[in-house]
Structure 1
Amino acid sequence: MKKFLLVSLLCALAIPTLAEDRELTLEERIEKLEQIIAEQNKELKKQKLDIKKNEKKLSLATQEKTKNQDDELQFHGYLRTGAEGNMKHGNKNSYSKNKEYVGRWGNEYDTNFNINLSKKFTQSNGAWTKLAVQLESWSDNYDNSVGDSSKIDLTQLYVEMGNVPMFTGAFKDAVIVAGKKKWDDQQVEVLDYYYQEVAGTGLGIEKIKLWNGSLNLAYISNDFKDGELSNIEGEKAEDIRAYKAKYTYGNISGEVMYAHAMDNDRIGTISYTDPSKPNNPDTGRENIGYTKRDAADDGFYAGLYYQPDNFFGFEGKGQHYLQYATGLLAGEGIGKIDTDFNKRAANDAVTYQLGLGGTVRLGDRTHMLVSYRGLRAQDIEARKEERYIWVNGQTAPSYEKSWRVNKLETDALVLRPIYYINQNLDLWLEAGIARKDTEAYNGTTEDHLLYKISAGPQLKYYVGNAETSLRLFVTYIGDKTERRENGVTTKSTVEDVLTGFQVSAWW
């Protein structure tokens, strides 16, 4: 602007000098001055355009820097371990007791870690690929053993491909996923329970734009080991194929899945022996019993998930789910294809589950984690009939209804309020109560009332995207059981007090 005014002033002063050669009228002088001003305005506009171009280049350079950071090797993980004492039984080590029902804090006696590595590579045309690996180790108590009890498994190994040049329209932002993966896993943190997780090797395409939401499609296979199948012609695993579709709109998701077992129909009758009983007196040979297995060949699953930015209208975050499954996908591990429970679900198995929970703020220094889950399942065990081995070693002449579980009903509520003392110290309390009722095919029922209360301080450190926590705890835990068999009712109660510590970290 200063340059413009200076030039204009010089031009105005120069006009009288030019008049020495030729006398100009006032109108001609004004016209000449307007021409000079117009030329300077053009120059000024050009300078403004240059400034905008430079700003755009700077913005692109900043974006490119962010891309380069995103392409760096990513290293994330989680670990937990600790020690505890079982005061009722001579301070012996214990095992987690129904933490998926009464809560995990003060009731989690295992050593676990997973390490996640990923690297993204971007081409000059914007197309990118990402490599991801997860290593995981788990042992079922706080021990120092090595070998099979604490081996490291490769739990995820997959590739993502995005910004595919051939993709247009609804597929423009879609991502191809291929490899071994935990597909769409969702966890209830207070229970360490995954209500949504399909583990296996597969091929999928995610983030397909559909209306105002996104669609994920996947084909997944799993060859979970089955000891019963291994006795038949050297087979060691059941080959299960699953076809899954999930649609997400805002904070609501819906999912359907169909799964088929390739080998379940090969096992109709299973024979077994019982070394604790004598040989058959008629044949002199080892006693043999038989089990009829009506395992499901396929199954269907439907799930609805809702995660609002409030907790039933209160400040917080919700985590709710409603699930239905049949056949191969029914049972205590509803919707999963890698659990032994579901592999042995009966052909007519049906399961429903409702989960309500999340986090609610109770005050400036207090928030609470809440979880309720209720499950109803029927015909969840394929081994419905047995030919038992009698005490004298003979086999029963006919099949009878099995002692294995036919019906399962559970209701569980867990509350975990946490009070913040300062940036590094919390006080926490976790209370859980649940019922777990079962009915066998032979009519035997067993009802459990599970309860637990744990409390203690938590020392924590937050640094960047990492957190380290040390929790001290004292836990009171119990299980009241009532069993009814052949008209006889028996009752029992098991209670204990546990103390210990747990350290955990994620980054």
Structure 2
Amino acid sequence: MRKTSLCVALACAFAAPVSAANLTIEQRLALLEQRLNRAEQAASEAQQQTARAERRARDAEQKIIALESRTPGAGVNASAAPQATAATTPAPPAAAKEQDNGFEFSGYARSGMLVSSNGHGARGGPGVSPASSLGGDAHVGRLGNEKDNYVELSFIKKLTFNDGSWGRFKSMIADGANNPDPWVQDNDSHHINVRQLYVEMGDLPDFSGPAQHATIWAGKRFDRDNFDIHFTDSDILFLGGTGGGINDLQWTPHWKSNFSVYARNFGDLGSDRYEDNDVQNLMFTANNFYDNWQLMLTGMAAQGNDELKDQTSTTGSYAVRSDNTASHGYYAMLAYRDKTRFYGLLPGNSESALQVGNGLGAEARQPGSDGDLTENAKTVRFASYGIVPVSKSWELAPSVIAQHSEDRYRDGDRYDWATFNLRASQALTHNFALLYEASWQYMNLNPNGRTYLDSGVQNAYQAVKGDFYKLTFAPTFKVGDVFDIKARPEIRVFATYMNWDKALDGYALNDDFGSVGFTAGGTWNFGVQAEIWF
């Protein structure tokens, strides 16, 4: 290409017209320089055109290779293809090559201190009330009411290939502790957990029809379609375990389905006869989506769970199991999720779900997680929340969760509770906001003789009825969109006031209510906390 450029330049240089003989030497040199510049520009353009032609040829060759890899034995010109002989072996079709590597690091963390009005470590948490012992469902507002340090770290690797397919690997490790010290050495009860570890694949060339863009997966994971109410740290739905499935089977432009199977267990139930994996709950789930609507159906079976009679549960309450614990169950959920409207009234978003279940399916928040449920257990649960901007500086997030259960842990028991929570954010400057939260919970709990162990002594849960109240004020610093109530990171200081009916102090000896320094009559907590997700 350099020789061509030089020839063009010389030809232009010496092709001056005869009339140029009358020009001075300086004028001739100027004309010669102009011609040389034009010649070099023309040569550069020719070189660029050649390079573009070579790239197009390479792209065409890659497309041919990809086509041949999808259809073995097919070429661009079969008649011109060399014929295999006894001395030659046809080359195998080219494998799909990796085109792009992507790596992602994401996480969630919260950390802070919670002290009482007398300067001691305070009691609290979203699950502080007696109703929260019922499968961890009945949470109250979390703002200014958390004392733990918790972190989730996710590592994601994505591979894409020139045939259009892709693969993705995700692992999540998590750790949580209440100890405020800078180092925790109790290795028996404090360790890193692997919460997720799975592989998924999508856009496989072998798939067609409704499965053309489907995703298959296997491993340990949270279900992709879980959703929650952040302001109470309560899942509307949390489905998870180890298993496999297929997502995004597209039947029509509006209707798609996911199918999965999860395996999980209920932990060591206090018996040396059964190991953790011997009591294993298998859950088969069909999730159907039609625009904003979701219908979830789940069946589950835990072979051998009903044989563990009168064992001690590990739900945190040390409850003694019934003699008719369930070995199977059913669960259904109808949900509506609108990402652009606040219950169809104003700009914002809202999510709602109606859930029912029986047997092992009577745990509505985390289906399949509670092995203490009886074979006659029945639950109905409603959960809903929304976020709505009401002015240039105010944003509100109301939520409600209400549940009715009967024959849950003993035939004849009944548990009714409802939680109402309101989080409000007032943006004052670019990096400063005031957060407010009001929470109220009603409880009517009748355990009907259910018992638990406390210091080796068997005691009975008491029937109680009453209300719980919480108010929090939290000046907050944040970066990003200070007006977005869910934007993080945040660093906040807070003051929280809690009170409840005295009757709730008597529900159990081993819960928070009624413990030393934490009885009805009102209590103040103070603290500072950081929270971030990315």
TM-score range relative to shorter protein: 0.7 to 0.9
What SS is found at the alignment partner of 1:329?
A: helix
- 1:129-158 CA deviation, whole Å, 9 max, x = no partner? 101101111124645434344421000000
Tell me the CA shift for residue 195 of structure 1: 1.9
Aligned counterpart, 1:38: none
Match status 1:217 vs 2:259: yes
Figure out how many residues of one structure are paired with residues of the other and give that number: 398
TM-score under structure 1 length normalisation: 0.72
The whole-number CA distance in structure 1 between the counterparts of 2:233 and 2:321 is 34
- 1:99-149 CA deviation, whole Å, 9 max, x = no partner? 653300000111100001111112221111101101111124645434344
Match status 1:375 vs 2:403: yes
Q: Which amino acid aligns with 2:108?
A: Y
The whole-number CA distance in structure 1 between the counterparts of 2:351 and 2:301 is 30
What SS is found at the alignment partner of 2:218?
A: strand
Say what the alpha-carbon RMSD is for the aligned residues: 3.1
Tell me the CA shift for residue 292 of structure 1: 4.9
The whole-number CA distance in structure 2 between the counterparts of 1:223 and 1:197 is 15
Aligned counterpart, 1:475: 496
What SS is found at the alignment partner of 2:139?
A: helix
What SS is found at the alignment partner of 2:162?
A: coil
| Equivalent in 221, 224, 228 of residue 181 of structure 1 | 221
Contact preservation (8 Å) 1:317, 1:360:
yes
Match status 1:328 vs 2:360: yes
Contact preservation (8 Å) 2:267, 2:276:
no
Contact preservation (8 Å) 1:311, 1:360:
yes
Tell me the CA shift for residue 70 of structure 1: 7.3
| Equivalent in 92, 95, 111 of residue 121 of structure 2 | 92
Q: Which amino acid aligns with 2:477?
A: L
What SS is found at the alignment partner of 1:120?
A: strand
| Equivalent in 464, 472, 475 of residue 446 of structure 1 | 464
What SS is found at the alignment partner of 1:170?
A: helix
Q: Which amino acid aligns with 2:368?
A: I
Structure 1 range deviating more: 128-137 or 309-318: 309-318
Q: Which amino acid aligns with 1:303?
A: M
What SS is found at the alignment partner of 2:346?
A: coil
Match status 1:157 vs 2:178: no
Aligned counterpart, 1:5: none
Tell me the CA shift for residue 483 of structure 1: 6.7
Contact preservation (8 Å) 2:350, 2:387:
yes
- 1:77-111 CA deviation, whole Å, 9 max, x = no partner? 011101121115x4224331536533000001111
Contact preservation (8 Å) 1:375, 1:409:
yes
Q: Which amino acid aligns with 1:324?
A: V
Where in structure 2 are the equivalents of 1:303-322 lying within 5 Å? 303-308=333-338, 309-312=340-343, 313-322=345-354
The whole-number CA distance in structure 1 between the counterparts of 2:179 and 2:419 is 24
Aligned counterpart, 2:387: 359
The whole-number CA distance in structure 2 between the counterparts of 1:233 and 1:371 is 41
Q: 1:95 to 1:102 in 2, by over 3 A?
A: closer
The whole-number CA distance in structure 2 between the counterparts of 1:421 and 1:483 is 39
TM-score under structure 2 length normalisation: 0.69
Q: 1:70 to 1:188 in 2, by over 3 A?
A: farther
What SS is found at the alignment partner of 2:259?
A: strand
The whole-number CA distance in structure 2 between the counterparts of 1:192 and 1:334 is 12
The whole-number CA distance in structure 2 between the counterparts of 1:98 and 1:234 is 29
Contact preservation (8 Å) 2:322, 2:409:
no
Where in structure 2 are the equivalents of 1:89-488 lying within 5 Å? 90-96=119-125, 98=127, 100-140=138-178, 142-144=180-182, 145-146=184-185, 147-183=187-223, 184-211=225-252, 212-228=254-270, 230-232=271-273, 237-270=278-311, 292-308=322-338, 309-312=340-343, 313-331=345-363, 334-338=365-369, 342-382=370-410, 406-442=413-449, 444-462=462-480, 467-482=488-503
- 1:385-437 CA deviation, whole Å, 9 max, x = no partner? xxxxxxxxxxxxxxxxxxxx921111110001101112211111000001122
The whole-number CA distance in structure 2 between the counterparts of 1:69 and 1:371 is 45
Q: 1:149 to 1:235 in 2, by over 3 A?
A: closer
The whole-number CA distance in structure 2 between the counterparts of 1:252 and 1:234 is 40
Tell me the CA shift for residue 249 of structure 1: 1.9
Task: Identify the structure with the greater strand proportion.
Answer: 1
The whole-number CA distance in structure 2 between the counterparts of 1:101 and 1:225 is 23
Contact preservation (8 Å) 2:238, 2:365:
no
The whole-number CA distance in structure 1 between the counterparts of 2:269 and 2:308 is 12
Q: Which amino acid aligns with 2:156?
A: S
Contact preservation (8 Å) 2:321, 2:372:
no
Q: 1:69 to 1:408 in 2, by over 3 A?
A: farther
The whole-number CA distance in structure 2 between the counterparts of 1:70 and 1:322 is 42
Which 5+ residue runs of structure 1 have no aligned equivalent? 1-49, 58-67, 273-289, 385-404, 486-490
Where in structure 2 are the equivalents of 1:27-38 lying within 5 Å? none
What SS is found at the alignment partner of 2:520?
A: strand
Aligned counterpart, 1:17: none
Structure 1 range deviating more: 114-123 or 97-106: 97-106
What SS is found at the alignment partner of 1:259?
A: strand
Aligned counterpart, 1:387: none
The whole-number CA distance in structure 1 between the counterparts of 2:355 and 2:287 is 13
The whole-number CA distance in structure 1 between the counterparts of 2:278 and 2:121 is 36
The whole-number CA distance in structure 1 between the counterparts of 2:246 and 2:277 is 31
| Percent of paired sites with the same residue | 24
- 1:156-190 CA deviation, whole Å, 9 max, x = no partner? 00001111121100000000011000113211011
Contact preservation (8 Å) 1:94, 1:141:
no
Q: 1:106 to 1:131 in 2, by over 3 A?
A: same
The whole-number CA distance in structure 1 between the counterparts of 2:100 and 2:477 is 32
Q: 1:322 to 1:232 in 2, by over 3 A?
A: same
Tell me the CA shift for residue 310 of structure 1: 1.5
The whole-number CA distance in structure 2 between the counterparts of 1:466 and 1:370 is 17
What SS is found at the alignment partner of 2:144?
A: coil
Match status 1:500 vs 2:532: no
What SS is found at the alignment partner of 1:319?
A: strand
The whole-number CA distance in structure 1 between the counterparts of 2:175 and 2:143 is 20
Contact preservation (8 Å) 1:87, 1:498:
yes
Contact preservation (8 Å) 2:331, 2:367:
no
